[in-house]
Structure formats: structure tokens, C-alpha cells
Structure 1
């Protein structure tokens, strides 16, 4: 019997390591977002500082571990075997849920997930107990720590509003003080700003956080608490002097120093607040096992008869477990590619200026932006023009920022990055010291969104997309809560009724899904790398345009070639499922061309002065690519629609003719791909000379179908589909040749310029 629970503990700690990996991958956005977005410090330095913060913060976590033991449910109402089922269901759910959000590249809340998983699993077991004992289900309130759970949930929800509001307010005031030409202002107010920022971090992170460090002497803690205001005053003076010294003597940008220290502080606050989300449950399980084993050795009490009253008391968390967990978190921070995907989402939504938007507008985002514009106009009308002009002058960007043509320019400046870090770390530390596991994701994300709004990063060009992104992310948070509750409740019920066999199956399925997710993500990363043409660190030259367009042509034609062959094959077999997949995969091809079109403004903006004539070529090139993708889109979707509507199969002769066209198309496309991959552009003339043969063959098939209609064809739907496929094939070939002709003319002109 004892061995069963030892195995469960081993599985729980294995899941905890996995949870640490997927959890840190998701929560890295919390402390990396500002530093990476501002590009004030090198990525290597950012990672080193964040790693130190995470490692130190792990020591601060022990005070919050009680949330997993007694923060959500009443341990005295459950027996040991029931507690273990709850913990197993929670960990399986948490690993799967966080990994799913990581794969989407969306930040979600590890705090919300663990809270609602504990709630869902506890409710499930409580309902089962009441049902089997034929008791009133209203007694379920005795099993749940409703007051604490309500306090946690309200604290999490309130943090969203508070973080957004305070972030927006502090950033607005900071921008009025510094403006976008902050270098001049730093000489006068930089030392004060640095002193206040660093003192705030010192107070909330170090002084308030000391209560969670068990190995510090009690007398030392008491001395600090009794002299708090003295220490704050001294810190303000010391940090202000240090800030002035850094600026005057060492010529250091104090904002960069704040970002560096703020990144450390926020990483520390993250580890201190969120470590419970990853290892709190396994530690609680280990402590439960230890309590039962002690009782079993002395009294022989069975797991199903041992109440967990002792779990509600104060139990010290082993320091070595916290240190080990911190080590896993640091390694994940350096090695996880999913962490970067989540960070990119946060940076993209808060960046200053335009760019490729990830999220599509929705009705809610349009309504919010529309009424915000109306409200803004109303306020502007009410305020005196002198006040309005004064405020507007504070938000004017310097000419150098407007003229910055680099695609890799910082997403926002160091003023906003500093505010993000300082405000978020303070709010999270307050929650930690009040023993409230606030969602660090909610806090940091909403602070970043609030500062973005106050900084006018969401202008009329981008607001509808940014708001849509925020709505999607926040909506995902609510989905997290619901899914976490339901999944944990279902898993707990399955383990209850299925026993060890059900548990083994769930663990195997979870492991399989995690491995599958890792493989798919790795494949996706490789595809993304292949899409990246080159790093535009500066101005784009004619040679780079040639490389860029060559790779684009090769990539798109590879996609078209694959889609055409697959569609013809699957249409021949009347395979609805594969045609549906073909139709969905077509979206990737369309997205690739849409992304190129979205970036045309920035591409042209980045051209060197003597390459501006290439702008026309690039626009026509994108238009032709669009025509080609539309043709293959019509071919794929019309084939899927035909089969989905259960129309008759195409005749054998029709499929055979389409396959013959497909073979010749493959030869043509393979030649084009080879030409552009190897930059052997002299072959373009030969390809253009051979185009008429293929067009004549398509025209001949059209004529053959006309003759079939007059003699043997009996299906109007088949005729419509077949004609559509042939005509779109003809358009596809024509567009392809137009693209080659366009590129040939551009390349010859470019060679003459060299």
C-alpha cells in the first residue's frame, strides 16, 4: 500500500519538473518583456540578471506554499487517499493546460490555473463523497475554504483593473515629466526618479520579502520592521546619490540601470510569488504522505481513514526543494523556445509604432476604439487649447525617432520599460507579502497595456488590432479558469473510479501530448526560421531585394506546387477529409503573402535612397503573388466544396487529364524553384519560352470538355468544377509567367545599375 503512494509522489514530482518548464516558458514574459522590448541591454545580460532574480526569488516562496495545502479547500474534510487524488488531478491538468497556451504563444496565468484546478478537483471529490454517502450536496461549502478562495479570486480579478490603471497613471505622469526627448530631462530629474524607483524596489522586494525567509534571525527582522521608515529614508537618499553618481561620473543612463535592477526585482518577485504554482502541490503531497506515514507506523491507520487535519497547520518547506526548483526555472529560462514566443506576443501588443499585427480586429475591439475616440475628442473639446497644446508638446516624438527606418528598432523606450518594471514588481510584491498569490501574468501584462495606452502607442492605425489582442488574451484567461476547473474535476473523478489503472493511462496520455506538442512546436520554429529572409538591421540594398524576392518566390511556388498536386490527388479519390486539410493548409500560404503585403510599408521605408525605384517592382511582385495564391485557393476550395456537397466524382478521363497537367506543372515549378534557389536567373528566358506549350494543353482540355458536354457529359456540377479547375490553372500559369517576366526585367535593370 505504501509503495502505491511512493509511486504517486514520484509521478507528482516528475510532473512538477515538467510544470516548472512549461510554467516558466509561459511566465517569462512577466519579467523579460520590458527589457527585451526596450533593447536597452543586451539579451545575454538580460538573461543573466533574470536568472539571478529567479534563483534568489525561489528562496522567498515558502510563505505562499500554504495556498496549495489549505488556501482553496478544507484539508480536515478529506482523507489522505482523497487528497492524493486531488493533487494528481491538479498536476496533470496544469501541465497540459500551460503547455497548450505556450504552444499558442499566449501568456496565461499560472496562478489562476492552479487555483481553479485545486477548486475543481476538490469540488469533484467532495461531490462524489456526498453522493456516495447520500448527504445533501449543499454541505459542499464545508469542504471548500470559501472565504480564502473568494479572497484569492477577487484579488486576481482586482489586480487586472488596478495594474492597468496604475500603469497608465504612472506612465502618463512620467511622460509629462520626461517627454520623448528624455535625455535632456534626465540631467535634472534622473537622480530623483532613480532614487524613488530603486527605493520602492528595495522596500517591497527586500524589506517586505524578509518575512518569507526562514533562516534570517528573528531579532534582525524585528529591527528592520521597527525602523522601516528610517531605512526607507536612508534608501531614498543613498539611491538618489548613487543614481547621480552613475550619471555624472560613470556617464551611465540611469534608466538602463533601473531596467537592469527592475528585471532582477521582477524575476525575483515572479519566483517568490509563482513558485507555489509549480511545486506547491507536490510539496503538499509529500508533506501529506509524511504525516500519514508517521501515523501509519504508530497506529496502522489506513489512507482512507486518516484525516488531513494536520495539513492545515504551519509546515516548513524544505529549502533544498526550493533551491532545486529555482535551478530548473533558470535552465528553462535559457533553453525554452516557447518562452520567446510568449514574450514576442507581449512586446508586439505594447510596441510604440506600427508593424505587423498578430491579431485580427473583432466587434468588441472596434466598439471600444470607436467610443474611446469619441470620448477623447470630447475631453479635448472641453480642455482649454493652451492646456491641450502643452500636453501635446510632451508627447511629440523627436525627428530621429520618426526617421528611424530600422525594422529592428526598439518596441518602446527606456522610460516606459522602467515604469513597467517598477510598477509591476511593486504590485506583485504587495500581493506576495499579503499572502495573496496574485497573477504575475495579469499584473505585468496589464501594467504593460496600461503604459502603452498612456504613452499613445495605440494610435488610430493600430488601436483596433492591439485592443483585439488584449481582448483575446484576457478572454483566454477566463477560458483558463473554466477549463482548469472542469478538467481537474473530470480527471479527479476518473482517478477516483478508475484507480491506479486510470491514473497510469492519464499520465501516459499527458506525457504523449507533451511530447507531441514539443515536436509540433519544434517544427513550427523551423518553419518560422525558414520564413525569415534576412535580418534588416539597417537599410535594404538592391542585392538584398534580389535575395528577398528570390526566396519569397521560391517559398510561395513550393507551397502552390504542393497544394496543387495534393488537391488533384485527393479530388481523384474523392477524399473529403484530406481535401478539408488541404483547404486549411492553404491558409498558411495566404498568410505568408498577406504578411509580405502588411510589411510593404516598412520594406519601402527601409530601402536605400538609390533603390527607391525598386518599390514599384516590389508592389507589382506582391500583386502577382497574390493572384497566384488566389488561383490555387479557388482550385482547392472549389474541389473541397464539390466533394463536401456529395456531388458526383469526376470521370476517370477528367482526373487523368488533370494529373497530366499536374505532372507538367510540377516540372515547371521545380525548374522555377531551382532557378531562384540557385540564383541562376539566366534560365528564366528558357522557362518563359516553354510556357505556351502548357497553356495550349490546358486550352485543349477545355475544348475536349466542351465536346464531352455535347456527347456524353451528364453532370452540370462536374462541368462547373472541371471548367473552374482548368481556367484557374490557366490563370495560375499566366500569373507565374508574368512574375518571371517582372523579375527578369527588374534583375536586368539592377545589373545595369551595378
Structure 2
């Protein structure tokens, strides 16, 4: 029996290695985004600084594993078997949950996930014990609910406080520096740098290093007694140092950003390490105590030994630090999570990751009314002065940066200061929540949420906040369900869940790699290149390639969908129609997203070029959307008919339509070849083919109308569906015909003139 439980402990450590990896991948959003978003340094240098902070924080951590040992449950009332089930359920749920959030690119809280997993698993085991073994014990004897309540309180406080102060402080900082922050820095930069560096040191003393190994009780008492002296000395010393660095032409803001990155990384590793290795280390302690004193009965031996303090080997801490550093440097999922926050806080509109939502639209409407009220209540002279300070046209950002160094500095310094302040006031502020909401508040203050991007940004913020609450609920329910299965099913269920977890992890990573490959092939790289390019002479060739690539994909999709729908209708097969209904909804989202991104790229063109090309761009895009609507209406009617098991299309009509469908497929193929080759000399021929197909469809439509009441009345329902198919097909061909002309004009503005010359020569 001991061998089986030893295998469980080993598996806990194996999962902990993966948990360290996925946990760092998600929490990298806390300390990388400001440096990455502001381009304070090359990516490798940012990773090196953050890695040093992570390793030092992990290696010098004192192994504060008490939350996993007795922070949620009272171990003296739980048997060894109970706790092994709880630990197994917690680590399995944590790995799966964090991996899901990483794959989605959504930041979440590792603290919340672990606490609620422990709470959920312990709650279920407590119910079992109260119903069977120990009916005289209540929840207060088995559970420590104060910790869960403090985490819930921390969620609300973190979200509201961080967003409010992020907005206010960034607004003040922007008034002081403006977007042209390099002007008039003679005295500002020294004071600003001194305040920021002092705040970072205070953050490290209060939050980042308070629980590290070298922080003896005597040293803590001395720091607490001389905190104000330390702060004043640091403020004076750092102010002089930053002023000197500025005189030596060193970019002080970059120094502040890198200091903040190091501080947050070190605090994260030193304080949040328990979230990753606390459970397996507690499992190891429980197994060691059981092996020495348990007498071979895991169901009766109680684990009061876990009430004692943890004694974590330094080698565990160093090993955890190495794994975290490697994961930070190599994880693609970490970069995807970072892209979420950076994208939501970007100064310029770009590839918005989130769509529109009703609550997002409502918030934007309220905000517009509030801004209009504030504008009317502000004197005109004050408005003009503020607008001069917030002149975005003067923005100074490095190539490819999402925001400038002023905002990057505020994000890191304010996040650290709020976390330190909350810690000193005994408020359980979450590092994840604070850093994310500070970044969102500062981006709002910087007017990064414009009228055309605000609804997407607000929807994204609401999605992330909702994800935090989903984390708590999913962690509680998931761990509870798993521990129930293991408690009732024994070691067999543990082994099955272990194998299932490994399979889920492998499948998730394969799907993530496939999604990343599809995203790379989908033109996102080209879009980002266009957005970041400042040379207007290079933009149009790249934009034309981007537009034609998107439209080429749509034409191929429309061809395949039309063929699939009509085949399914003729063959009375409902499954392809259900599939088409799903893909058409996705196709509409992709088409709208492509149009929005292409519109952003059009703004990068010169005014004359944009005026020349925009009309034909919108015409071609509207034609594509019209074709999509035709396909949707065809599929909707056909699906309703087929799923009701009505009579199929008679053979003679199916044979007639097969000829028409072949001609339409040929037209799609020729149009697709045109988008690939760009040979607009074939446009006139293709448009004549469109006219011929339309004439054929019209003749077929009118013949059918004349015969529909003379045929068997039983076939009337299917013939009406066939009429709709012919009519929508005709409208679709009209859309293709308009698209061909718009595409030709988009490529060559002289297309109409040259076409007229060719026609005159033919005459």
C-alpha cells in the first residue's frame, strides 16, 4: 500500500513540474507586459532580467507552504487517505485549469485557483466525513473558511482599487510629461525617477522580500521601525542618481521599467511559489509522517503533523526556480497571455482579440455621456490645455511598441506600490488582479480606448474579470468532483485520472501548436507588419497582398460551402447543412474581423491613396458579405426542409440544377484564379459569364414558376425551396459580378479606361 501512495506522491511532483510551467506561463503577464509593451529593452534582455528576479525569488523563498498544509483544512481531523485524495484532486484540477486559460490567452490567478481547489476538495471530503465517520464535527472544525473569504474580498478590492488608481495616476503623469515626454525633462525626470525607484524598493522590502530566507525576525523589526527613514533616504539618493543618469544621456524611464520588472518577478516567485509546489510538498510531508507512524492504515491515521511549520529543502526551491526560468524563456503560451493585456492596453487600435458585447456597448454609451458632461463642465481654457498635453500625434514610442515608457513605468511602479500598501494594511490584494487592472486604468487615462476600439477593449476586460470568477467556481467544482470520485473509487480512480490528465495535457498542447500555426498562416504577421510600418510607400503593396489573401480565402470558402449545401439538399443529407450553419456563423465573424483590420491598415495610407482605394475596398468587401448572406439564406431554408424529412428534390430538377451548379463552381474557380494571379484582363470575360449564368438561372426560375402548380402537389414544398435556391444563387452571381469589377479597380485604378479601349477595339 505504501508503494502505491509513494507513486501518487511522485505523480504529484511530476504534475507540479508541469504546474510550474503553466503557472509561470500565465503569471508572466504580471511582470513582462509593461517592459514588452513599451519596448524598454530587447525581448531577450527583458527575459534575462525577469528570469534573474524569478530565480532569486524562488531560491531565497522560505518555503511558506502553510496554506497548503493547514491554511484551508484542519489536518488533525483528516486521515492520510483523505489528504492524498485532496492533494491529488487539487493538483490535477490546477494543471488542467491553468492550461486551459493559457491556451485561451487569458490571465488568471494561481492563488485563487489553488485556494478554491483546496476549498472545494476539502468541502466534499468534509461532507463525506460528517455523513459517515465523524457526525459530531461541523464545518468550522474541518474547514478554515476565513482564507477563502479573504481571497474573495481581495478580488473585489484588487479590481476596483487598481483600476481607479491606474486611471488617476496615469492621467496626472500624462499631464506632467505629455506624450512628447522627452521635452522639458531637466528637473522632472530626477524627481519622477526618484519616486519610482523608491516605490520599487519599498515594494521589495514590504512585499517582495518579507518572507525570504535572509529576512530574520530582527531584520524585519528593524525595517518596520525605520521604514520612513529608509524611504526618505532612498528618495533623496535615487533622485540624485536618476538626475545624474539623465545628464549622462541614459534613458531613465527604461531603467525604471527594468527595475520594476525585476521587482515584480522576484516578488511573484518568492510569494506565489506555494501555489505550484505547496501541494506536492505537503503530500510528501504527509507520506513521510504516515510511513513512519501510520502502522499501514491510511484511513484511520490522522495528519495532525501537518499543523507544524514546513521545512522545505533549498534544493526543491532551486529546482523550482530553474523550471520557472526555463518556462518563462521558452513558453509560447506565456507570450500569448501577455499579448492579451498588451493588446487591450495598446495606444493604437489594432488586432482586437475580443468582439463586441451588449454590456460593453452599454458601458461605452454611459462613458460617452459622462465624458460629454465633464467636457461641458470644464472651462474651455482648461480643456484646451489638457488637450495639448494629450496630443497623441506627438507620441514618442519605439518601433512596434504598444505604449510609451511613461505608461510602462506607471504600470509597474503603481502595481508594486499598491501591492505593498495592501500587504502593509493586511489586505489580500492579488498580484494578477492589480497588475492587469492598473494597466487597463492607465490605458483608459491615455485615451487608448477610442470610439472605434472602446467596445472591444471593455468586452475584453469584462471577459478577463469574468474569467477570474470562473476560475474560482471551476476550481471549486472541479476539485470537488475529482476528490469525490477518488474517495469513492480508491487507487484505481486515481490512476485513471492521472492517465486522463496526461492525455488532456498532451492534446491541449497539440491543439495549441496547431492553432498557432493556423494563426501564423492566417496573415496576422503581415497585418502587424503593416500596422508597425511608417514608410507609406511600402504599405500599399503589403496591404494589397493582405486584402487579396483574405478575399482569396473567402472565395474558396464560399465555393466549398455552396457546393456542400446544394449537394446536401439534393441528396437529402442534413449533417452537412448543420455543419454549414456553424461555419457560416464563424465565417461572418472572420469576414467582419478582416474588414476591421483592413480598415485600420487603410488609415496608414496617404490621404490621396486612401481616397482612391477605399471606395473599391469597401465595395469588394460588401460583395463578399452579400455572398455570405446568400449562402446563409440558402442553407437556412434547405436545412429546415431536410431536417423535417420532407420529400427530396425530384430527379429531373436535380439533373437540371447539376448543370447550373457546375457552371457556378467553374465561375468560383475562375474568380479564385483571378485573385491569385491578379490578371485583370480576364475580368470582362468573367463578368460576361456571370451574365450568362444569371440568364440561365432566370430562365430556369421562370419555367419552374410556370410548372409548380401543375406538378404533383406533394412536391410543392420542395419546389418552393428549389425556387429560393435559384433566386439566392442569382443574387450571389450578381454579387460575384460586382466583386470582379471592384477587385479590378482595387488593383488598377485605370481598369475602366483600359476596359473601354479594349471594347472599342473589339467593335
> 1: CA distance between counterparts of 2:102 and 2:418?
25
Q: Look up the match of 1:503.
A: 494
Residue pairs, 1:672-683, within 5 angstroms: 672-679=671-678
Q: What does residue range 264-663 of structure 1 map to in structure 2 within 5 Å?
A: 264-296=262-294, 300-382=295-377, 387-394=382-389, 396-397=390-391, 399-401=393-395, 410-429=401-420, 438-532=429-523, 534=526, 535-536=529-530, 537-538=533-534, 539=536, 540-572=538-570, 574-608=572-606, 611-612=609-610, 613-655=612-654, 657-663=656-662
Instruction: Tell me the CA shift for residue 2 of structure 1.
Output: 0.9
Structure 2 CA distance for partners of 1:574 and 1:608, relative to 1, 3 Å: same
Question: CA shift at 1:743, angstroms?
Answer: 2.6
Q: Are residues 746 and 430 of structure 1, via their aligned partners in 2, closer, same or farther at CA, if it must alter by over 3 Å?
A: closer
Distance 1:497 1:400, change over 3 A: same
Which of 6-15 and 374-383 deviates more?
374-383
For structure 1, which runs of at least 5 residues remain unmatched after alignment? none
Residue deviations 1:657-702 (CA, integer Å, cap 9, x gap): 5555444444443343344335555555554454455445544543
Answer with 684-693 or 466-475: which moved more.
684-693
| Alpha-carbon distance, 1:121 to partner | 0.3
Shift in Å, 1:64: 3.7
Cα deviations by residue, 1:707-745 (Å, 9 ceiling, x for unpaired)? 355223524432232222222222223322332233334
Distance 1:750 1:334 in 2: 52
Given the alignment of the two structures, is residue 197 of structure 1 paired with residue 196 of structure 2, yes or no? Answer: yes
Q: Shift of the alpha carbon at 1:453?
A: 2.8
Post-superposition offset of 1:379: 4.7
Matched position secondary structure for 1:466: helix
Query: What's 1:125 paired with?
Result: 125
- Kindly state the Cα deviation for residue 507 of structure 1 after the two structures are TM-superposed: 2.5
List aligned pairs for 1:110-189, cutoff 5 A.
Answer: 110-133=110-133, 135=135, 139-189=138-188
Flag the 1:362–1:543 CA change in 2: closer, same or farther, 3 A.
closer
Partners of 1:611 and 1:24 lie apart in 2 by 46
**Which residue number in structure 1 is paired with residue 710 of structure 2?**
710
CA distance in 1, matches of 2:508, 2:114: 21
Asked if the contact 2:26/2:337 (under 8 Å) is kept, the reply is yes
Matched with 1:45 is 45
After superposing the two structures, state which structure 1 stretch, 111-120 or 155-164, moved more: 155-164
Q: 1:90 to 1:430 in 2, by over 3 A?
A: farther
Aligned to 2:65: 65
Map 1:249-260; keep pairs closer than 5 Å.
249=248, 251-260=249-258
- Deviates most, 189-198 or 545-554: 545-554
The answer to which of 32-41 and 473-482 deviates more is 32-41
Q: Deviations over 1:34-83 (max 9, x none)?
A: 22222343333323322222222223544542212222111222111100
* Alpha-carbon shift at residue 197 of structure 1 (Å): 0.9
CA RMSD of aligned residues (A): 3.1
Query: Is 1:12 aligned with 2:7?
Result: no
Decide whether aligned partners of structure 1 residues 650 and 543 sit closer, same or farther in structure 2, where only a CA change above 3 A counts. same
Q: Answer whether contact 2:112 2:151 (CA < 8 A) is retained.
A: no
CA contact (8 A) 1:35 1:41 kept: yes
Alpha-carbon distance in 2 for matches of 1:681, 1:515: 48
CA distance in 2, matches of 1:729, 1:751: 27
| Residue 600 of structure 1: how far off its partner (Å) | 4.5
> What is the CA-CA distance between 1:459 and the residue it aligns to?
4.1
Quote the Cα distance in structure 2 between the aligned partners of 1:56 and 1:255. 24
Matches within 5 A, 1:80-119: 80-119=80-119
Q: Deviations over 1:344-396 (max 9, x none)?
A: 221222223434544344443344444444444445555555555544443x3
Q: Residue 114 of structure 1 contacts residue 277 of structure 1 at CA under 8 Å; is this kept in 2? A: yes
Per mean C-alpha deviation after superposition, the further-off stretch among 308-317 and 617-626 is 617-626
Q: Secondary structure at the match of 2:138?
A: helix
C-alpha distance in 2, partners of 1:64/1:708? Answer: 81
Which secondary structure does the structure 2 equivalent of 1:158 belong to? helix
Residue 242 of structure 1: CA displacement? 2.5
* Cα deviation, residue 280, structure 1: 1.7
Q: 1:682 to 1:362 in 2, by over 3 A?
A: closer
Helix, strand or coil for the counterpart of 2:407?
Answer: helix
Q: TM-score, normalised by structure 1?
A: 0.90
Which shifted more, 343-352 or 193-202?
343-352
CA positional deviation for 1:415? 1.2
Q: 1:116 to 1:324 in 2, by over 3 A?
A: same
Residues 601/400 of structure 1: CA separation in 2 closer, same or farther (3 Å cut) = farther
Cα offset, 1:315, TM superposition: 0.9
CA offset digits 1:297-354 (Å, max 9, x no partner): xxx2522222111212211222222222222222322333332332222122222343
Query: Does residue 732 of the first structure (1) align with residue 723 of the second (2)?
Result: no
Q: Distance in 2 between matches of 1:379 and 1:371?
A: 12
Change (3 A) 1:666 1:380: closer
Using the TM superposition, give the Cα deviation of residue 12 of structure 1 relative to its aligned residue in structure 2, in angstroms: 1.4
8 A contact 2:60–2:214 mirrored in 1: no
Taking structure 1 as reference, are residues 3 and 629 closer, same or farther at Cα in structure 2, changes over 3 Å only? Answer: same
What stretches of structure 2 of length at least 5 have no aligned partner? 754-763
Tell me the TM-score normalized by structure 2.
0.89
Using the alignment, how far apart are the partners of 1:609 and 1:602 within structure 2? 14
Q: CA deviation at 1:432?
A: 6.7
CA contact (8 A) 1:205 1:426 kept: no
Which of 648-657 and 550-559 deviates more?
A: 648-657
Alignment of 1:202-281 (within 5 A): 202-206=201-205, 209-214=208-213, 227-249=226-248, 251-281=249-279
1:289 Cα deviation after fit? 1.3
- Once residues 571 and 7 of structure 1 are traced to their aligned partners in structure 2, the CA distance between those partners, rounded to angstroms, is 57
Q: Encode CA deviations 1:169-217: one digit per residue, 9 max, x unaligned.
A: 3222222322223212432211111111112212221565434222567
**Any idea what the Cα deviations from partners look like across 1:419-476, whole Å, max 9, x if unmatched?**
1111113334556788976432211111112222333333444433332322222122
- Following the alignment from structure 2 to structure 1, what is the Cα–Cα distance between the partners of residues 592 and 211? 52
Counterparts of 1:425 and 1:367, CA distance in 2? 32
Whole-angstrom CA distance in 2 between matches of 1:207 and 1:477: 26
CA–CA separation in structure 1 for the residues paired with 2:450 and 2:690: 48
Once the two structures are superposed, residues 579-636 of structure 1 have per-residue CA deviations (whole angstroms, 9 ceiling, x without a partner) of: 2232112233222221232235422221146633222222222222222222222223
- The answer for the alignment partner of 2:761 in structure 1 is none
User: C-alpha separation between the residues in 1 aligned to 2:320 and 2:752?
Assistant: 62
1:13-41 C-alpha deviation (Å, 9 max, x unpaired): 22222222322232222222222222343
Give the Å deviation of 1:116. Answer: 0.9
**Equivalent pair of 1:195/1:238 in contact (CA under 8 Å):** yes
Equivalents in 2 of 1:617, 1:366: separation in Å?
30
